[in-house]
Chain A
């Protein structure tokens, strides 16, 4: 079962916006509105940032937003801050057999 495809790296300067893509197939991202995004600072617990494509859990800043078009989902981080530097992983529900696929992760660098 192939992972979802993410760019290995992304970067932006403080205050700028950056968008990270997550490409799947018609069996996962394109089929279900159950795309999630996680922020992971190495050595710490991953944090849920977006679920169901564009919903934010309580406490997540509205600088983080999600969207989806066809088989590709995107996470946009606006007004970049130093603490946003982390690894970001997407996931998608993939049906009752596979259940969930994760992306390979994108390392976001704040320049």
Chain B
């Protein structure tokens, strides 16, 4: 059973960098899928942030691309998100997920972690 779980600080100061890690269990990250980050601001819909392949190849939302870094650690079977220069608008529940087909369709999701940007 594939399981993914987000972890990281729940509070980040404005202008600093948000860092989250997604731990994958029950499945090898090397098995050939893309792995993604999605977020949901309070009261709003979902927004795709970006995705990464086990080789390190990445795709990012054009609106966030300049601030997003996604990396993978195959030895630890996890992948990570860094979002720089955060503002209150980046306050959201952040989800990590496995892609089913490589077309940004996500079949296994974590429960999400709330990250609040505030001083």
Q: Which residues of A contact B (CB under 8 A)?
A: 1, 3, 34, 36, 38, 43-48, 51-52, 57, 89, 91, 93, 97-100, 102-105
Contacts and interface: CB of A to CB of B under 8 A. Distances in A.
Contacts of B105: 34, 36, 48, 51-52, 91, 93
Nearest to A32: B103
B47 A102 contact: yes
Q: Name, among A34, A97, A98, A99, the residue most crowded by chain B CB atoms within 10 Å (CB to CB).
A: A99
Nearest to A100: B104
Contact of B107 (A1, A48, A98): A48
**Contact-residue size bin, chain B (C-beta under 8 Å from the other chain):** 20 to 34
A40 to B, nearest CB: 9
Contacts of A51: 100-101, 105, 107
A52 B61 CA distance: 21
B45 A47 contact: no
Interface of B: 38, 44-48, 51, 59, 61-63, 95, 97, 100-101, 103-112
Nearest to B48: A100
Given A91-B104, A100-B48, 15 more contacts: A1-B62, A1-B63, A3-B45, A36-B106, A45-B109, A46-B109, A48-B100, A48-B105, A51-B107, A52-B105, A57-B107, A91-B46, A93-B103, A102-B46, A102-B48
